[in-house]
Every structure is written in C-alpha cells, then in structure tokens.
Amino acid sequence: FQKSLSEIFGADKYSRARKEVLTYMFSRPMQMALYFCTGVLDDETLFHHYALNVPFYTHFTSPIRRYADIVVHRLLSASLGARPPIRMDKEAIQKQADHCNDRKMASKRVQELSADLFFSVFVRVRP
C-alpha cells in the first residue's frame, strides 16, 4: 500500500501537496474527539479512550493552539491544586465545550472541502 501511494505522490513540485491530501483522505473516516465537561455526564464509559484502552482520558495540547486546551489546562491545574478553582459551573464549561466542538467541526468541514477540491483538480490534470 505504501509503495503504491509513493508512486502516486510523484516527484514534481506538487508531490508533497498530493501526499498530504491523500493521506488526509485516508484518515478522514476516523472518529473525531469531542470536548465535554465530565461533570455533566453520568456515564463514565464515555471517558474511555478506545485506542489507548484506558478508562479515563484527558486530551490537551499546547494552550497556545486552541481555547479549549487553555480551559483543560486551567481545570487540570485547579484539580491538582496548582491554581485556584475556575469560577464557572459545569453547564457553562459544557457550553464552551459545545462551542469549541462546533468550531472544530466547521473547520474540519472546510478542510475536507479544500482537500476534495484539490483532489478533483489533481484527478483532472493527472494523465
């Protein structure tokens, strides 16, 4: 499979772009993670990470990337006693999580449409 993909990518000035678009298209069916406030969910099985097979999982990246990661950092710091608790109730935190999920989904959709456009142009001009 990798050999076939490498042949498709080619070695011209667009090879890197083709590689990124096709790799993205192959990974598209994977389920996206969602932000949520654990305090509003009663079913703890929803905290499970399937691929890592751990019962409780919290994901975050650098807080300079996304607002949701700033919130996660602050909540985690507060839960560890490194900072004062956040003065928000769980419903307000869930509302922010829902908004972040909506924006993430919209961004993903734009990315998908862009990849689809590039792929259609690639298929059209490829002999």
As a whole number of Å, the CA-based R_g of the chain is 20
DSSP assignments along 56-80, one per residue: S------TTT-HHHHHHHHHHHHHT
Q: What is the pLDDT of residue 31?
A: 66
How many Å apart are CA 39 and CA 89, to the nearest integer?
9
Q: Write out pLDDT tens, residues 18-61.
A: 777 777 777 666 667 788 888 888 888 888 887 788 888 887 77
* pLDDT at residue 65 greater than cutoff 80: no
Can you tell me the distance from the alpha carbon of 56 to that of 75, in angstroms, rounded to the nearest whole number?
15
The average confidence (pLDDT) of the chain is 83
Q: pTM (2 decimals)?
A: 0.64
